Structure formats: C-alpha cells, structure tokens
Chain A
Amino acid sequence: MDTALYMEKSHKKRKKISVGMAVVYIILIFWAVLTIFPFAWVIINSFKPSAEVLRSSFSLPQEFTMMNYENAFGKLNVLNAYKNSFLISGCVTLGVMILASLMSFGLTRYRFKGKELIRSLIVASLMFPAFATIIPVYKMIIQWGFLGKPIAVILPQIAGNLSFATIVMTGFMQSIPIEMEEAAYMEGANVFQVFARIIVPLCRPSLATVAIFSFLWSYNDLFVQKIMIAGHKQYYPVCTLLEEISSQYGTDFGLMAASVTIIVIPVMIVYVLLQKNIIKGLTAGAVKG
C-alpha cells in the first residue's frame, strides 16, 4: 500500500519519479534477497564442520571442508537415490506424455457418443486429492506384489498427472488446423502415421509443458513415495531419503546442510537453463484453463 501511495506522490511531482522507482526497486530487491537467502545460507554452511555451523552460521567457512559431502555420499548413498528418482520420475513423465497425447488425439479428432461424458469425467478427477484414493491403491499395489518397488510409485503418479496433462494437451490440439491431416490422408497415410508424424511433432510445446510438470510433481511428491517405498532403502528416491536424513541425522547440521545442497543444486542448474519453459510449464492452464 505504501508503495502505491508513493507512486501517487511521485506521479504528481514528476521530478521525484526516480525516487519512487528507487523505493519500488528496494522492496523488490529485498524480496529477492529474502527468497535467495535460505538457499545461499545452506550452501555456505554445507562446507563447514557441524560445530562451526552451530557457532557461527553467518560467516564464510573458516576452514573449508568437504567432509559433509563425503559423509553424504558415503553414508547415505545419495547417488543411488538420484538414480531411483530419475528412473521413477522419468517413467512417470514418459507414461503421462504418451497416454495424454493419445487420449487428447482421440478426444479432439473423433466424434463419438459419450465424448462429453469422458471429458467431464477427466475434469472431475482433478478434484480427487491423492488422500482420497491412496488406501485402495495401496491395497492393489500390495496384492500385485509391487509394494516397495519403483513401479509402486510410478503407476499411481502417472494416473495422478494424467488428467491435468490431458486437459492441457486437448486445449493445444484443438488449435491445430485439420487440413494438414486431411492432406496426409489423401497421400495415403493412415491414422497412426498422421498421429506420429504430424500431431506429435506439432504438439512439441505442450508436450514440453506436460513433461516439465509431470517430472517435477513426481520428483517432489513425498506423500506417494513415502507410502509405496517405505522401508525398502535400495529404492528410496530423493525426497524419501531426505526425510529419513532429517529424522535420523537431525543433529548433524553439516550433513543436513550438505544433503539439502546436493538436492537443490541440480534442480537449480536445470532451472536456470530452462527457466522460461519451467515457469510456463508449472503455471500452465492456470490462467486460461
């Protein structure tokens, strides 16, 4: 509110516009610092021995140590957790992309009875939180003998992301003009060729969106991971391992800081490289959905 008032003042006195802008910049920079500070703090402290983190967490490391990282990689097998996470989230992403583009193709290109029903069923399923399906799904996973294996996480997560992905992709496919497909048909292409050679390549932007949010939601989703893999350490993905670190090694500050850093850094690198796509991917459908 203050800034808005300030903008009003600065508007009246044109000379002071730069002052008003300066205040806006100060507030924006303040928030940026508030956003970055926790991450910077944890990265700096990951290079200190635990005792030093407890004593002076605001200074740069007095003696630079990699001990926490040696501990993290040695004791906790972080690399293995990465491998599991990439396997799980990679399969989820691939599964969602394939199933969602097939469904959207069927829903946008064919006319049939019950199409509206299927569409509204898909929209309705967005209202089912994981809490409301997890117990029966857990039962099935046990009955199938999948409990504690990566597939126990993959299957429910594919289903959990599929509805939203289909909605995003249907919206995009509807905007692709049908002429090219008709032309391909005249040339003798069948439906499957049209789908694979024309539709899928044209849908690349929305496939990227779907890939990004499926991967991140799957990677970050502790709830399903925790229930489906609990106790099977060799298959722990990153989040489950982190949660275990926090409950077991909660007093080893250096190790905790190193673990958080190990988890944050790769995401940070990918984020910096693909930020525009990621921001678009995660807010997709929110504005015009």
Chain B
Amino acid sequence: MLYKKKWPLFLFLVPGLLFLLIFLYIPFVENIKNSFYDMASVVKMPGQEFKFIGIDNYKRLLTDPDVRSALVNTLKMMVLTVIFEVGIAFVLAVMVSQVKKFQQLFRTVYFFPVVISATAIGLLFKLFYNYNGGMLNQILERFGHEPVLWLGPDLAFIMICIPTLWSYIGFYFVILLTGLSDIPDDIYEAASIDGCSKFKQVFYITLPSLKPVFFTSVTLAVTGALKVFDLPWVLAPNGAPQGLTHFLGTYMYQTAYGLNNYDYASTQALLIVVLGVVVSKGVGALTADKEEKAERKAKKAREKAAKTMKKEAA
C-alpha cells in the first residue's frame, strides 16, 4: 500500500541513474565512437570536426608491437595472479583453518597490504630495488656479490609482479578462508572416521566444496590483473625500460596523456573491456561442470515450457 504511489520512485532512482548515465554509460558509448575518429584534441575547437577514419585504429592495434608486449605482460600477469595469489592464498587459508590459536591475528596481518595504496607500496619497493644502496643490493654487497640492476630490461617485469602479487594475497586469503569455514565440520568428521587422511580430505572434500569460491577468486584475480596501473606506473613509469614493462592500462594511459593520441587510446581501452568479458566468461565456462550445465539446461527448458503453457492458457 505504502508503495502504491509511484511518483516518489523517480526521486529515488533518478539521481543515481543520472550519475551512471553521465559518467559511465554515455562515456562508454562515446569511447567506442571515438575509436573510429581521428581526434585532434580532447575537446573540439569551435567549428572543428573530427575525421572519420573507420577501423584504422583497430588495424594499428593488431600490428602494434607495443600493444603486443603490453598484452603479453597483462596475460602473463593474469596467469601469475591465479597461480601465486589464489594459490598461495589457498595454502595459507587451509593452514590457518587448521590452527586454533592466533587465527584472527594471521587474518589481520595477511590482509594489511590490501588497504595500503599501490602507490605507497610501489614507492616502498622502489627503495628495495634501487641500484645505488637499495635494500636488495645492500644484501648482495654484504655477501660480496656485484649489485644487480633490478629494474633493468631482464628483471623489471618480474620485479613489478612481485609486489603486485604479494600485496593482494591477503584479499584472496580472506575470501577462501570464509569459504572454508562454510564447509560443515561433520563431513570432515565422517571422512576421518572412514579412514580418509587429512591430505586426501583436502583433495576430496575441501577443493570440490570450495569450487564456487575458487571461481569468484579466479574471476576477480584475472579481471584485477587487467586493471593494474598504479604499481607498475610508480615502479617503472612509461613502461621503463624501453616500454618493456607496459601493461594494457599503463600503455593506454601513456597513449592518451603522454602522446595525446586519444582515439588510439580509446581503441586500447576497448581491448581491455573485450578481454575482461572474454576472460571472465572463459573462467566461467572452464569451472562450470557438467552437472551445473545440465541443471541450467533443465531450468531453461522448464522456463520455456512454463511460458508456452502460459501463452496457450491466454
């Protein structure tokens, strides 16, 4: 009754929707449009028209060696996030769920880097990696080794990956730990009565029951890898050295705000969107097993049947 009168609905929905429309949907569509034009500047001068260039930017995207290396770096980062972030987080979560003391303390400590800005972490690791008197080279020199150029062409990529991965392990740790605590204890009890070892329990009980949580973690990890920007930018601005450490995000930023090539940057941004949709669908397809698929099919069939029945009734 209270909600019969519809006019207040506008007051509730319109402000938020306007925000989304003006700052997300319209710019998103405009970004697609921009990728087909040659933008001389961001804002059109009076009387200026941007030239339509068709799919030139897309052609360029396919042949640009810098895009290729940024894409390869991003894909590598995705694989690394799944293996190391989700992997280490899982091992830690299983272990913490076994111990009785200090669980809360471990949670607090492991999660801490997540709340610190990537910019601060980047600056911190810059101090570690510095050639002259950085922490790592101090250790090497103490043991009588030559100092190493940590952010040089050979090592830079992996040195950027380490803090990126390290800082987010705690996030997946908490998600997986929450998932672990949702598995009822009696399954484990029954298994150990039947003589199933703890090691086997991890494989036959923990892993299968954690599947949905793994799915979420992996999806978040790969889409998160697509969005890395702050940390690489602080550690190695402009993809230093020689653009070798560019990720799709940092390369897009440099194209737009370093080289002022806004239309080409828009095309790169679209690549990021497409890749995001593809990988999250891909993860979904890989993890959905046959039962789920069958269930979904059955559900669709039921819905269809219900609809046709309704139609016939009408």
Contact (Cβ within 8 A) B23 A99: no
Q: Is B156 an interface residue, CB under 8 A from the partner?
A: no
Contact (Cβ within 8 A) B12 A247: no
Determine the distance from Cα of A250 to Cα of B134 in the docked complex, in whole angstroms.
11
Q: Is B276 an interface residue, CB under 8 A from the partner?
A: yes
Closest to B203 in A: A4
Contact partner of B16 (CB less than 8 A), chosen from A42, A103, A109, A286, is A103
Contact partner of B95 (CB less than 8 A), chosen from A27, A34, A127, A142, is A27
Contact (Cβ within 8 A) A106 B175: no
B54-62, B123-131, B295-303: which lies at the interface: B123-131
Contact (Cβ within 8 A) A122 B119: no
Contact (Cβ within 8 A) A128 B273: yes
Contact partner of A136 (CB less than 8 A), chosen from B6, B27, B96, is B27
Q: Is B53 an interface residue, CB under 8 A from the partner?
A: no
Determine the distance from Cα of A39 to Cα of B124 in the docked complex, in whole angstroms.
8
Q: Is B79 an interface residue, CB under 8 A from the partner?
A: no
* B-contact 0/1 string along A174-191, CB 8 Å cutoff: 000000011011000001
Interface residues on A, range: 35 or more
In the complex, chain A residues 11-68 whose Cβ is within 8 Å of any chain B Cβ: 11-12, 21, 24-25, 27-28, 31-32, 34-36, 38-39, 41-42, 45, 53-58
Q: Is A167 an interface residue, CB under 8 A from the partner?
A: no
Q: How far is the CB of B160 from chain A (nearest CB, A)?
A: 14
Contact (Cβ within 8 A) B202 A283: no
Contact partner of A222 (CB less than 8 A), chosen from B5, B109, B128, B230, is B230
Contact (Cβ within 8 A) A159 B273: no
Contact (Cβ within 8 A) A12 B27: no
- Knowing A110-B3, A243-B119 are in contact, say whether A41-B135 is a contact too (CB < 8 A): yes
Name 25 A/B residue pairs within 8 A (Cβ), A-sorted.
A35-B109, A38-B121, A39-B112, A42-B124, A57-B138, A58-B138, A99-B16, A109-B2, A110-B3, A128-B24, A132-B31, A140-B22, A158-B23, A162-B20, A191-B5, A219-B117, A220-B119, A221-B230, A223-B229, A223-B249, A230-B257, A243-B119, A253-B133, A279-B111, A286-B175
